[in-house]
Amino acid sequence: RYVRQLQRLQLLFSPTAADARGARQFVEEAAQDFARQHPDVVLYVSPRSGPGPAPVLRAEYLNGTVREELIASKTSEEIVQLATKLANQSGLDIIRIRKPFHTDNPSVQGQWHPLTNKPSILTIQGPRLQPQ
Amino acid sequence: PAMAARLLLRAARPLLAGAGRGTGLGTALSTAPPPEKKRWLRAYLELQRLQAPPQRRSEQPNWDYHAEIQAFRHRVQENFSLDLLKTAFVNSCYIESEEARRRQLGLDKDAVALQLQDNTALAERGLRFARAYLAQCFEGAYPELPAKGIEALVNFLTSQELVSYVAQNLSIQDLTLCRDFPAPPDVLQRTFLAVIGALLESSGPERTGIFVRDFFIPQLIGKDLFEIWEVVNPMGLLVEELTKRNISAPEPRITRQLGVSTVLPVYFVGLYCDKKILAEGPGETLLAAEEEAARVALRKLYGYTENRRPWDYSKPKQGLAAEKAISSN
């Protein structure tokens, strides 16, 4: 069954800073809807007062990765899109994938090895006798 | 006027900061200490932060136990009764450590005894149910497999490493209450089995069976039978199986050989019964090749080859419900 890999989202923003306006609007309007649509993600809203660092959305996944995304000067809809994007990701590192293909069944009839189509010692080769 | 404006500004800022601090104290203290301005102090504090020992997630900021348990319930898409689930996460070592701590703080005997129950009973029930269910699954799917093979498979699936791996990836290590951090694998195994037991009590054996199937059986993907089941003498086992089916004893013959006089020879030994081929296996020496051929023959007989049909996850098995109810009670 499908298990959403996102464990919790922490929204850290300042209640007075200018670049956290989108975050504040998100908390007022869209955070409850988001939490209702994703009941398996715990959403923590923690305003931090004073001139602190930029507002950030921290996502923690089931395999332990913690990903922080800046939400400074983003509108409420953009933050919703970002949150849904994080909710649909898994916690694997975002690095370059070496090959764009992968298969769990590399060979259907058996992988070729140098002896595949060679007749074995036990075959009797003669003018009339067929090899096994 | 410029001087006056600057003075006004300087007066206004502490007021704002004071107001901010006032409102900030009302909310949970989730902020880090304010960033230092001295460059040398910043470096030292960063070093201290990196060298601090890892803490439980429940001791870090932003943690709500009830919300986390509800999220766990939705993540796994199962209805639990929350009390059973909360008891499932309580371990005996946690209760002992809490009581010891309370005794050290000098509370009365009544206050020392916690109102919490252990998860040992739930864990036992979960383990019994999981073993019985998995054994039945395998008996249904691989009818030829002997009892020892099924036992080996079930032991592998309920072993500590596998269960603790599954539990870690379901964030059970954050939710358990236990004395040590990080939680040792046997604690995680016991907690996960207790969760299964709680689900059994809340939703009944059918849903729990589907849960066990969904989380344990995918761990067998890509695993070979004889990686899990240690067989010392495959040739003897093969002879037994063939006598059970009234087929004559296998006769090993060399089918192919390569590089006999080199350091790395390859021999393909085929096992023939009544001059018909049963299985063929490669190996470095003749004995190794014969053993490998016996293993390949056993895999074919038990139906556990690599090209067997994948596990059927579609329909829930109806017949198991009554048997489970009888066996778990």
Given CB atoms, is B12 within the 8 Å cutoff of chain A?
A: no
Given CB atoms, is B18 within the 8 Å cutoff of chain A?
A: no
Residues of B in contact with A62 (CB under 8 A): 169-171
- A49 vs B21, B74, B270: nearest CB: B21
**CB-CB under 8 Å, A50 with B17:** yes
Half-sphere exposure of B138 (CA within 13 A, CB side): 26
pLDDT band at B119; cut points 50, 70, 90: confident
pLDDT at B281 over 80: yes
Q: For residues A30 and B74, what is the distance between their CA atoms, to the nearest angstrom? A: 21
Domains of chain B, earliest start first? 59-225 (1.10.1520.10), 231-302 (3.30.160.20)
Chain B: closest CA distance from residue A5 (Å)? 9
Highest mean pLDDT: which range of B12-16, B91-95, B194-198? B194-198
Q: For residue B182, is the peptide bond before it cis, meaning its omega torsion is within 30 degrees of 0?
A: yes
Structure tokens at B283: 């190996």
What pLDDT score was predicted for residue A84?
A: 92
Structure tokens at B213: 């199937």
Given CB atoms, is B75 within the 8 Å cutoff of chain A?
A: yes
What pLDDT score was predicted for residue A63?
A: 87
**CB-CB under 8 Å, B256 with A16:** no
At A31 the three-state DSSP class reads helix
pLDDT at A81 over 90: yes
Highest mean pLDDT: which range of A13-22, A80-89, B52-61, B245-254? A80-89
What pLDDT score was predicted for residue A79?
A: 92
Q: For residues A59 and A66, what is the distance between their CA atoms, to the nearest angstrom? A: 6
**CB-CB under 8 Å, A62 with B74:** no
Residue A97 lies in a domain: no
* pTM reported for the whole predicted model: 0.78
CA closest to A110 among chain B residues: B307
Mean pLDDT of chain B: 80
pLDDT tens per residue, range A42-70: 999 988 877 778 898 999 998 888 999 89
Count of structural domains, chain A: 1
Residue A32 lies in a domain: yes
pLDDT at B18 over 60: no
Given CB atoms, is A15 within the 8 Å cutoff of chain B?
A: yes
* Lowest-confidence region among B114-123, B135-144, B285-294: B114-123
Given CB atoms, is B112 within the 8 Å cutoff of chain A?
A: no
Q: For residues B298 and B284, what is the distance between their CA atoms, to the nearest angstrom? A: 20
- Phi, psi at residue A103, to the nearest 5°? -140, 140
Residue A72 lies in a domain: yes
Residue A66 lies in a domain: yes
**CB-CB under 8 Å, A46 with B62:** yes
* Burial of B80 (C-beta count, 10 Å sphere; 0-12/13-18/19+): buried
Average pLDDT of the segment spanning A21-39: 90
**Beta bridge partners of residue A67, listed in sequence order:** A59
Residue A13 lies in a domain: yes
Highest mean pLDDT: which range of B49-53, B111-115, B317-321? B49-53
Residue A60 DSSP label: E
pLDDT at B29 over 80: no
Residue A102 lies in a domain: no
pLDDT at B319 over 80: no
CA closest to A3 among chain B residues: B75
Residue A3's H or E segment, with its range, is none
Given CB atoms, is B260 within the 8 Å cutoff of chain A?
A: no
3-state SS record for chain B: CHHHHHHHHHHHHHHHHHHHHHHHHHCCCCCCCCCCCCHHHHHHHHHHHHHCCCCCHHHCCCCCHHHHHHHHHHHHCCCCCHHHHHHHCECHHHHHHHHHHHHHCCCCHHHHCCCCCCCHHHHHHHHHHHHHHHHHHHHHHCCCCCHHHHHHHHHHHCCHHHHHHHHHHCCHHHHCECCCCCCCHHHHHHHHHHHHHHHHHHHCHHHHHHHHHHHHHHHHCCCCHHHHCCCCCHHHHHHHHHHHCCCCCCEEEEEEEECCCCCCCEEEEEEEECCEEEEEEEECCHHHHHHHHHHHHHHHHHCCCCCCCCCCCCCCCCCHHHHHHHHHC
The CATH number for A48's domain is: 3.40.30.10
Residue A107 lies in a domain: no
Residue A31 lies in a domain: yes
Q: For residues B9 and A121, what is the distance between their CA atoms, to the nearest angstrom? A: 98
Q: Give the structural domain span for A47.
A: 6-88
pLDDT at B329 over 80: no
Given CB atoms, is B30 within the 8 Å cutoff of chain A?
A: yes
Between residues A131 and A63, the one the model is more confident about: A63
Complex-level ipTM: 0.81
Q: For residues B243 and A68, what is the distance between their CA atoms, to the nearest angstrom? A: 64
Residues of A in contact with B76 (CB under 8 A): 1, 3
